[in-house]
């Protein structure tokens, strides 16, 4: 048994390193063999075709970046006929990330992508819910529970739910997702932000506001991973600012079962390849037999305290 092998629920992974949605397409195969990854998490897509937001869609920040790409999508038909066949060449679990603006549309899309070749569905519930005045599903426990329950009814595939850091009730949201039938939680997504060019006084993103990602948000994602892992019984996949082997280990110690790497791949496309080699070397050097031995081993200063609903 490889020291890196793990599983997310019933899904076996050869290692805990996988891409974060939105930072991974077949284009990365130009740089290294994508067959080495623990899972393939595709870019979020919607049932209908979308062009995305106006440019500029990204801007540089200290310790990361901000984006407002706007989920460009070629739609369901293109996904089934073009995207799926490409990924079938890999013997790696394929995780399909989906998004929709209403409960019903989300459920219909989940049913439509529950096809052979798809190992799990990742529900990106950070998009605005038109039935809740545009608030993202993931900012409230009730809307999270409602959408996950509908998704659960629509598919028999493992259901991963990607949470948002833009909530004041992370524990309640995580528990609502679990109670509604989520098989795993992906924690978390980008943090809503804004940047202004002081010369032109214009926002630096065409969409005015965008999502912050990269090393700058790692403590937020790590905190939420710890909270979600402490407050639920389902696997948590850590996501947010992971760049180094130490970052991966930190998330595992906080309670993550696996991790997703996103923005670091934009800076260096070989990041996940580097992390895989480095993690194996680190475990060996530490005399740790399995990556699973790290999970949830954070040494708290006192007896584990109740996890606060919100840290401010």
Q: CB atoms < 10 A from the CB of 103, how many?
A: 20
Q: In what order do the strands lie in the sheet with 58-61?
A: 58-61, 64-67, 209-213, 191-194
22 is a contact residue toward other proteins (CB under 8 A): yes
21 is in an annotated binding site: yes
Applying CB under 8 A, which of residues 35, 63, 85, 308 lies at the interface with other proteins?
Answer: 63
Q: In terms of Cα–Cα distance, which of 236, 217, 120, 133 is closest to 177?
A: 236
58 is a contact residue toward other proteins (CB under 8 A): yes
53 is in an annotated binding site: no
Distance CA 303, CA 300 (A): 7
Which is it for strands 40-41 and 94-98: parallel, antiparallel or unpaired?
A: parallel
270 is a contact residue toward other proteins (CB under 8 A): yes
**Burial classification of residue 69, based on how many CB atoms lie within 10 Å of its CB (0-12 exposed, 13-18 middle, 19 or more buried):** middle
According to DSSP H, which parts of the chain are helical?
A: 75-78, 84-87, 103-112, 141-154, 170-179, 218-231, 245-254, 263-267, 271-286
Among the listed ranges 104-112, 153-161, 274-282, 291-299, the one in contact with other proteins (CB under 8 A) is 274-282
Q: Which residues pair with 122 in a beta bridge?
A: 97, 160
For tokens 């598919």, the residue is 155
64 is a contact residue toward other proteins (CB under 8 A): yes
Q: In terms of Cα–Cα distance, which of 94, 46, 110 is closest to 74?
A: 46
Residue pair 271/243 in contact (Cβ under 8 Å)? The answer is yes
Binders of other proteins among residues 27 to 46 (CB under 8 A) are: 27-28, 30-32, 43
67 is a contact residue toward other proteins (CB under 8 A): yes
Of 47, 65, 127, 177, the catalytic one is 127
Kindly tell me which of 107 and 275 has the beta carbon lying closer to other proteins: 275
Kindly tell me which of 51 and 312 has the beta carbon lying closer to other proteins: 51
Binders of other proteins among residues 127 to 156 (CB under 8 A) are: none
Kindly tell me which of 32 and 90 has the beta carbon lying closer to other proteins: 32
287 is in an annotated binding site: no
Burial of 44-60, coded b for 16+ CB within 10 Å and e otherwise, reads bbbbeeeeebeebbbbe
Among the listed ranges 10-18, 50-58, 165-173, 247-255, the one in contact with other proteins (CB under 8 A) is 50-58
Tokens of 100: 């929709």
User: Considering the complex, what minimum distance in angstroms separates the CB of residue 306 from other proteins?
Assistant: 36
Applying CB under 8 A, which of residues 3, 69, 80, 94 lies at the interface with other proteins?
Answer: 69
Q: For other proteins, how many residues bind (rule: CB under 8 A)?
A: 37
Residue pair 42/21 in contact (Cβ under 8 Å)? The answer is yes
202 is a contact residue toward other proteins (CB under 8 A): no
239 is an active site residue: no
224 is a contact residue toward other proteins (CB under 8 A): no
Q: In terms of Cα–Cα distance, which of 15, 19, 159 is closest to 87?
A: 19
User: Considering the complex, what minimum distance in angstroms separates the CB of residue 35 from other proteins?
Assistant: 13
Kindly tell me which of 63 and 85 has the beta carbon lying closer to other proteins: 63
Residue stretches of the annotated binding site: 21, 43-44, 67-71, 124, 162, 189-190, 214, 240-241, 262-263
Residue stretches of the annotated binding site for FMN: 21, 43-44, 124, 162, 214, 240-241, 262-263
Catalytic residues, which ones? 127
Interaction site with other proteins (CB under 8 A): 22-25, 27-28, 30-32, 43, 51-52, 55-65, 67, 69, 72, 214, 265-270, 273-274, 277-278
């Amino acid at each position: 048994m490889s020291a890196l092998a793990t599983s997310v629920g019933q899904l076996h992974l050869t290692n805990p390193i996988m891409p974060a949605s939105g930072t991974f397409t077949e284009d990365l195969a130009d740089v290294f063999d994508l067959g080495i990854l623990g899972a393939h998490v595709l870019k979020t897509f919607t049932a209908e075709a979308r062009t995305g937001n106006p440019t500029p869609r990204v801007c540089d920040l200290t310790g990361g970046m901000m984006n407002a790409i706007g989920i460009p999508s070629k739609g369901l038909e293109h996904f089934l006929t073009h995207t799926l066949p490409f990924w079938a060449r890999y013997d790696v679990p394929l995780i399909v990330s989906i998004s929709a603006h209403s409960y019903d549309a989300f459920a219909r899309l989940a049913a439509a992508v529950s096809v052979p070749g798809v190992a799990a569905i990742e529900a990106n519930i950070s998009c605005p819910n038109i039935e809740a005045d545009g608030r993202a599903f993931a900012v409230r426990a009730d809307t999270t529970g409602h959408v996950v329950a509908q998704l659960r009814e629509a598919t028999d595939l493992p259901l991963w739910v990607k949470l948002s850091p833009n909530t004041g009730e992370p524990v309640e949201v995580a528990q609502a997702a679990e109670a509604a039938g989520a098989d795993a939680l992906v924690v978390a997504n980008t943090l809503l932000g804004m940047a202004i060019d002081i010369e032109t006084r214009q926002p630096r993103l065409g969409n005015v506001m965008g999502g912050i990602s990269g090393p700058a948000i790692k403590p937020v994602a790590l905190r939420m991973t710890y909270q979600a892992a402490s407050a639920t019984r389902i696997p948590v996949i850590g996501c947010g600012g992971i760049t180094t082997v130490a970052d991966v280990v930190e998330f595992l110690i906080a309670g993550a079962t696996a991790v997703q790497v996103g923005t670091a791949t934009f800076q260096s496309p070989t990041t996940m390849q580097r992390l895989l080699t480095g993690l194996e070397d680190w475990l060996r050097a530490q005399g740790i037999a399995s990556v699973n031995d790290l999970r949830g081993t954070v040494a708290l200063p006192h007896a584990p305290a109740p996890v606060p609903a919100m840290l401010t």
